[in-house]
């Protein structure tokens, strides 16, 4: 196996994410009722196979072991626990807050109302429409199972225009208005409504429905600037790749192969990142919304661990350790496999109650810290590894006596060391700006992973590669001088036809 195969290994590494997993999903169990109609009865005592929960006997056929919970309308894996279909035996009524408190629609939490208004109504009695159509004031606990909780983090009332709708609670537990049935994912709260005719305020019970917070796609000047800067960096990396492919001294050296593999990773990773920036997630399929960001993550993470590999290789070179093909592949292949495994893991992981990829956005959600955990944390580990070998190399160089005539091999390695670490310093600076910009946007409440500082740093990253990997590398400069001299020789020669 030849050394250039490392580039092909990087190119086709992403194919592993497209293959179906070796294990199949088991067929989903059939539960006796919907999750919203259940209650956690773990720890409840049983009689003759039945369970007693809040003085309600639940037969065994209405009890099942659940391995998930529903949070904000999303199914989230959880430890196995028993749940009973309480609402099938006794209609359920859900209140958002304990008695004496109201749900604040702006702060999205339960608060005690101010003393300027009359206290909110109690939860013991409620107006209920009976099966015969009559309205009666009933004691709730004698007819219904009472729950106090908000099914979602963000609740909102259902209005008709700007006016609230008068919803009616029925004897069977349903909430309706003129034939329209209210969602089961609700909770009641008293709201203070203004009575225009009487010029007064009064409390009214209103059911609140789950309002999942959507992250709207925006394609503005900042997004286009970011994509253009990524394109500039891609073009710069392509130039570096072409020069390293043309230079015979670099083409088959371990250092040259690693740099070429690195540039391929960044070219593909930045191209996919630009694609995700310019495309609305709503236009992508669910599969594409997982595969494309997983591939992007894989190439970006892999690029940093290739830099760690190069720093390790340079450290060994100063100690006279000669790399063999077997050593190269024994180190390089696990790095690729780790990047593939990490991307595959992230693609099927949840952060909180949301999928990391495949939700409102096909890339990391700027409303949480998932990008810090799944992208910036692995990058930080790779930078720490590289920094460790950089310090060891500096210690070794400082301990060596200075001699006037150095061997060409040592001179080449030291030049590679200097040019590589100049580039690594620029790269670390660029990604540090990305981390700080995300943290700044997060604390300011801006729903974006980048700003104009990140945009210009992406373009700077490409120019840094040209400056450090080409401009400061002796072997590359000698190669370019030879090409320039050959062109000058051709221009100064006299054609044979003139004699």
Q: What is the CATH number of the domain that holds 375?
A: 1.20.1070.10
Pair (346, 415) in one structural domain: yes
The residue written with tokens 């401009």 in the block is 471
For residue 295, tell me if it sits in a domain.
yes
Supply the CATH number for residue 129's domain.
Answer: 2.170.180.11
Domain count, the chain: 3
Buried b (16+ CB within 10 A) or exposed e, 288-327: ebbbbbbbbbbbbbbbbbbbbbbbbbbbebbeeeeeeeee
Helix-, strand-, coil-residue percentages of the chain, each rounded to 5: 50, 20, 30
Q: Which of 205, 145, 200, 202 is nearest to 169 (CA)?
A: 205
366 and 264, same domain (yes or no): yes
Point out which residues pair with 104 in neighbouring strands: 109
Structural domain boundaries, residue 46: 31-88
Mark which of 88, 108, 131 sits at the end of a domain: 88
Residues contacting 455, CB < 8 A, separation 6+: 222, 225, 226, 228, 229
Q: Kindly state whether residue 404 falls inside one of the protein's structural domains.
A: no
**Same domain flag for 364 and 432:** yes
Q: Give 10-residue mean pLDDT values along the chain (499 residues).
A: 46 40 37 86 74 81 85 77 87 88 86 76 84 85 85 83 82 83 86 68 84 74 91 93 85 83 93 90 83 92 91 82 78 88 88 76 84 91 91 81 51 80 91 91 80 90 90 82 64 39
CATH code of residue 81: 2.30.160.11
Look at residue 251 and tell me if it is in a domain. yes
* Residue entry with tokens 């009064």: 202
Say what the pLDDT of residue 76 is: 76
Q: Is 207 in contact with 184 (CB distance < 8 Å)?
A: no
Choose one of 41, 63, 88: the last residue of a domain.
88
Same domain for 237 and 360?
A: yes
Question: Looking at the structure, do residues 56 and 188 belong to the same domain, yes or no?
Answer: no
Could you tell me if 60 and 101 lie in one domain?
no
Total-model pTM: 0.65
Contact 61, 84 (CB under 8 A): no
What pLDDT does 46 receive?
A: 67
User: Would 55 be classed as within a structural domain?
Assistant: yes
Tell me, what's the pLDDT at 232? 94
Same domain membership, residue 226 and residue 140: no
Residues 383 and 324 in one domain: yes
Tell me, what's the pLDDT at 401? 66
The DSSP result for 391-457, as a single string, is HHHHHHHHHSPP-SS--HHHHHHHHHHHHHHHHHHHHHHHHHHHHHHHHHHHHHT---S--HHHHHH
Q: So what's the pLDDT on residue 323? A: 72
């Amino acid at each position: 196996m030849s050394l250039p195969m490392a580039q092909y290994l990087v190119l086709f590494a992403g194919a592993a994410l497209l293959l179906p997993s070796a294990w199949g999903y088991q067929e989903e169990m059939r539960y006796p009722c919907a999750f919203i109609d259940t209650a956690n009865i773990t720890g409840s005592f049983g009689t003759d196979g039945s369970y007693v929960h809040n003085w309600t006997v639940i037969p065994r056929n209405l009890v099942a072991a659940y391995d998930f919970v529903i949070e904000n309308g999303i199914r989230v894996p959880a430890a196995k626990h028993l749940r009973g279909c309480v609402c099938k035996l006794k209609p359920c009524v859900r209140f958002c807050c304990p008695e004496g408190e109201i749900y604040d629609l702006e702060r999205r939490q339960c608060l005690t109302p101010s003393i300027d208004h009359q206290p909110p109504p109690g939860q013991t009695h409620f107006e209920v429409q009976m099966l015969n159509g009559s309205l009666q004031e009933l004691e709730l606990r004698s007819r219904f199972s009472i729950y106090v909780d908000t099914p979602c983090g963000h609740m909102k009332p259902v209005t008709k225009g700007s006016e609230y709708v008068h919803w009616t609670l029925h004897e069977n537990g349903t909430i309706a208005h003129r034939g329209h049935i209210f969602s089961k994912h609700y909770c009641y709260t008293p709201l203070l409504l203004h009575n225009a005719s009487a010029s007064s305020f009064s409390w009214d019970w209103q059911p609140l429905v789950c309002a999942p917070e959507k992250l709207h796609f925006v394609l503005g000047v900042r997004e286009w600037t970011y994509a253009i800067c990524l394109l500039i960096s891609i073009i710069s990396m392509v130039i570096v790749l072409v020069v390293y492919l043309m230079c015979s001294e670099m083409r088959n050296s371990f250092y040259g192969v690693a740099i070429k593999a690195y540039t391929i990773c960044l070219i593909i990773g930045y191209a996919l990142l630009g694609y995700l920036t310019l495309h609305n997630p709503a236009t992508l399929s669910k599969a594409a919304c997982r595969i494309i960001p997983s591939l992007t993550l894989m190439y970006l993470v892999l690029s940093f661990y290739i830099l760690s590999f190069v720093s390790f290789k340079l450290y060994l070179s100063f100690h006279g350790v000669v790399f063999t093909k077997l050593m190269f592949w024994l180190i390089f292949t696990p790095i690729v496999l780790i990047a593939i495994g990490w991307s595959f893991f992230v693609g099927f992981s949840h952060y909180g109650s949301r999928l990391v990829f495949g939700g409102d956005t096909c890339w990391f959600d700027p409303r949480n810290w998932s990008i810090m955990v799944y992208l910036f944390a692995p990058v930080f580990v790779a930078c720490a590894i590289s920094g460790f070998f950089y310090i060891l190399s500096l210690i070794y160089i400082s301990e060596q006596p200075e001699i006037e005539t150095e061997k060409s091999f040592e001179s080449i390695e030291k030049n590679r060391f200097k040019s590589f670490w100049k580039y690594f310093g620029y790269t670390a600076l660029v990604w540090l700006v990305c981390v700080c910009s995300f943290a700044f946007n997060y604390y300011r409440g801006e729903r974006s992973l980048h700003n104009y500082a990140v945009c210009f740093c992406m373009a700077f990253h490409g120019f840094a590669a040209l400056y450090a990997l080409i401009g400061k590398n002796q072997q590359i400069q000698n190669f370019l001088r030879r090409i320039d001299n050959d062109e000058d020789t051709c221009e100064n020669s006299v054609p044979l036809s003139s004699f």
